[in-house]
Amino acid sequence: MVKVSVIMPVYNAEDYLEESINGILNQTLDDLELICVDDGSKDSSLEILNEFAKKDSRVKVFHQENRGGGAARNVALTHTTGKYLYCMDADDELKRNALKELYKIAEDKDLDFVMFRATNYDVDTGEYQNIRYFRMDAVAEKVGESVFSYRDLGDLIFETSSTPWCKFYNLDFVKRTGAQFAEGLIFHDNIFWWDILLNGERIYFYKKYLYIRKNHSKSSTGAGDKRYIDSLTISNMIWDIFTRHGVFDRYKTGLGIRKFEKVYHWYPEIQPQYKEMYFQAMKEDYQKIADDKEFYDYIIDDLTEKSREIFLNTLSSENHEEFEEKMENIHLKEEIEELKQTNDEMQNSTSWKITKPLRQIKRIFK
């Protein structure tokens, strides 16, 4: 048994693939296997994978007709033999010492999995950003150095990142949960994550930034095409997972907010020719909730003002143009709130307080 099985779905990743693979093979922990599943690439990705496999016996290559990243990950899982599991994307980077550090933590603390932070890199602009979604600050502050379960997080479970590559899993734990990635859908990692989280009893948050996620237009979540409608299917599948685990009632508020705000989060990213299609899919999905009077009454009052307005504005609009016009009011409120928050932070800052006497003198002599 190797210490770590790394799985990597690959689709048309020739521009980044060699760097990503070398980042795994050159880890300071070398007792690993790298299981790559080519998902019907049309570029030279499969040839690159086969060349690596010839040179390094730790690389195992499998090929399938194009079925999506979720299916590729599920296939890779069936070939794993390690004690721990790590999920790598073919266009990203992992810090060289990451697997060694994560392995030691998982072993020392007898964990189901470790969570850690990632840095976002915009390929087009060359900028690095430690964005909120990958920092998970509220979660880190809540748990500190303790080993925890999802129950310790309360509603902060919705502040966790669903990405599989900022987790390091005990493989036996993963297999016992039966967690799978959604197939044929983008955002497929959400389904795996919520099943994993709701089964986890021994979790640890490692506050280091160990992963560099490259954001570029070729990625499935950067295309802005009609596949974004999958976000509705995924949101419903997440509700099903919480129901199956018997915790929907406990988290119904967060689930409602997440459903409406997360689905809307992707709306501005959609290419213009797909906006009407996306809007109509939203309306059809939300109408089912509105038609169930008992469930509608059960959930509507617990929503935030923003999520409620997204929900109701979708139902009351005939098309995406009307919907966008109504949503402008929310954007204006958010901008005002952001300006107010910035002003409050500035006035509470040390420099603002120190310069207060000088500002008073200036007013006197005006």
pLDDT digits (tens, 9 = 90+) for 231-272: 999 999 999 999 999 999 999 999 999 999 999 999 999 999
* Boundary of a domain, candidates 156, 188, 223: 223
Residue 353 domain flag: no
Q: Say yes or no: 308 and 187 in one domain.
A: no
Range of 314's domain?
229-347
From the list 6, 73, 4, the residue with the least C-alpha distance to 38 is 73
In the predicted structure, residue 308 carries a pLDDT above the cut 50: yes
The whole-number pLDDT of residue 352 equals 55
Show Cβ contacts of residue 169 under 8 Å, excluding neighbours closer than 6 positions: 84, 85, 86, 112, 113, 196
Confidence (pTM): 0.87
Residues paired with residue 93 on neighbouring β-strands, in sequence order: 212
| 330-352 mean pLDDT | 62
Residue 361 domain flag: no
| 266-287 mean pLDDT | 95
Give 263 or 219, the one with higher predicted confidence.
Answer: 263
DSSP code of residue 33: E
Residue pair 201/149 in contact by the 8 Å Cβ criterion = yes
Residue 19 domain flag: yes
Q: Say yes or no: 154 and 264 in one domain.
A: no
Q: Determine how many CB atoms are found less than 10 A away from the CB of residue 304.
A: 13
Percentage of residues in the chain having pLDDT higher than 70: 88
The whole-number pLDDT of residue 329 equals 73
Q: Say yes or no: 139 and 279 in one domain.
A: no
Q: Say yes or no: 200 and 270 in one domain.
A: no
Q: Say yes or no: 21 and 118 in one domain.
A: yes
Residue 338 domain flag: yes
The structure tokens 């906006």 sit at 275
The whole-number pLDDT of residue 119 equals 96
In the predicted structure, residue 363 carries a pLDDT above the cut 60: no
Residue pair 206/102 in contact by the 8 Å Cβ criterion = yes
| 285-303 mean pLDDT | 94
Give 311 or 360, the one with higher predicted confidence.
Answer: 311
156-215 pLDDT, tens digit per residue, is 999 999 999 999 999 999 999 999 999 999 999 999 999 999 999 999 999 999 999 998
The chain-wide mean pLDDT, for the chain, equals 91
Distance in angstroms (rounded) separating the CA atoms of residues 2 and 140: 30
Distance in angstroms (rounded) separating the CA atoms of residues 287 and 243: 20
Residue 356 domain flag: no
Residue pair 5/33 in contact by the 8 Å Cβ criterion = yes
Q: Say yes or no: 27 and 138 in one domain.
A: yes
Q: Say yes or no: 241 and 154 in one domain.
A: no
- Render the burial of 15-43: b for 16+ CB within 10 Å, e for the rest: bbbeebbebbbebebeebbbbbbbbbbee
The whole-number pLDDT of residue 366 equals 45
Distance in angstroms (rounded) separating the CA atoms of residues 142 and 153: 7
Q: Say yes or no: 179 and 275 in one domain.
A: no
Q: Say yes or no: 217 and 151 in one domain.
A: yes
| 2-13 mean pLDDT | 97
| 343-364 mean pLDDT | 56
The whole-number pLDDT of residue 309 equals 94
In the predicted structure, residue 327 carries a pLDDT above the cut 50: yes
The whole-number pLDDT of residue 332 equals 67
Residue 354 domain flag: no
Residue 359 domain flag: no
* Boundary of a domain, candidates 167, 197, 223: 223
The whole-number pLDDT of residue 328 equals 87
Q: Say yes or no: 185 and 204 in one domain.
A: yes
Residue 358 domain flag: no
Q: Say yes or no: 210 and 280 in one domain.
A: no
Structure token pair of residue 19: 């760097």
Domain count, the chain: 2
* Boundary of a domain, candidates 196, 223, 250: 223
Q: Say yes or no: 210 and 321 in one domain.
A: no
The whole-number pLDDT of residue 365 equals 47
| 71-93 mean pLDDT | 97
**In this structure, is the dihedral angle defined by the CA atoms of residues 227, 93, 86 and 208, taken in order, positive or negative?**
negative
CATH code: domain of residue 178: 3.90.550.10
